[in-house]
Amino acid sequence: MSDKIQSVFGQFAVDLGDGPVLFVTEAEAQAALSEYENGAAQREEAAEYCAFLKVDGKQAKGKSNVIVSYLQWVDAGRPAPVADVVADEEEI
């Protein structure tokens, strides 16, 4: 766990400039921290790659979103997928 992310009552808190924000998983907290600290550089890198590919408009936006998401995943330490938790809806 990053020293910038703290475990608080089973959730993960990270300061994103306007005070702490809580996340359910550590991976979500790490991705948010990556966006906060590196978001501008990640978007610039994605834009440069799209320019290299000579794509623009909606195609560039879609590709950029995937590239930025990938870079945040790498910054977060490549966390494994989190299994969806299905709540038991049976009545007692």
The string of pLDDT tens digits covering residues 22-42 is 999 888 898 889 889 989 999
State which amino acid sits at residue 57: G
Q: Which of 65, 75, 66 is nearest to 38 (CA)?
A: 75
The residue-averaged pLDDT of 7-33 equals 89
User: By the 8 A CB rule, do 32 and 53 touch?
Assistant: no
- Between the alpha carbon of residue 11 and those of residues 14, 27, 40, 82, the distances in Å are 10, 11, 27, 14
Q: Which of 36, 92, 37, 35 is nearest to 68 (CA)?
A: 35
The residue-averaged pLDDT of 9-30 equals 89
Looking at the DSSP assignment, which residues form a beta bridge with residue 14? Answer: 5, 21
pLDDT tens digits for range 62-84: 999 999 999 988 888 888 876 66
**Which percentage of the chain shows pLDDT scores above 70?**
86
